[in-house]
Structure 1
Amino acid sequence: MADPKVYHMTFASIYPLYVNKVERKDRTQAELDEVLRWLTGYTQEQLLAQIAVAVDLEQFFAEAPRLNPNRTLIKGVVCGVRVENIEEPLMQEIRYMDKLVDELAKGKALAKILRS
């Protein structure tokens, strides 16, 4: 089976969409970055470097320094699919990221988003 097209989308193309989504809901880019760093283990500099070199999502997650072990606590529906039931590992990581951005945009407290 061929890889879904989303795997080959660049993080640099998705990131501005995330920024726009959260800023429309009165959240900040800094909060978005904090959520992304929590999920992936990237430092701010590493996150910006991933954007600058335009890695695809497959590479973005493959190079993540330390995927947060608490990411498995992320539950809910994204694009009509429960994230905890997704069997394909990369698709699940992408949907975890989408779910965190959705929670941020919906005004959920940062402490709850970060499962702390």
Structure 2
Amino acid sequence: MEALASGWSRAIGSSSPEEASLSSSSSDSSSWAISEPKAIELVGKSWTAVAVHGRQNEGSEAVWLGGRATALCRAIGASLRDAGFAAEPNERLPGLQSANICNRTLSSGGAQLELP
């Protein structure tokens, strides 16, 4: 997980609802302050997106899940737990702002993972 928790944010989009269904001491500012035009354009054409961030451990090895796509967050959390990872809702950085990169989608929602 350390390789993924490098502090970079990546948005992975899907182009349709059907495709979507198949499928740090940080602040949340990196999620909503993204101004990279190509990233915004890609996410804006996608039905949903998943943003992956690194964060400081802060005593928890769990992946914190947030974002407006609650069903997607629950599905990702269940998959992570099935694979042996701890995953829990992100109470501190819930990723609910409309300007958050994961929520700038056609559905106005996505998921945000904060990795320790």
Instruction: State the TM-score, normalized to the length of structure 1.
Output: 0.28
Higher percent of residues as helix: 1
Higher percent of residues as strand: 2
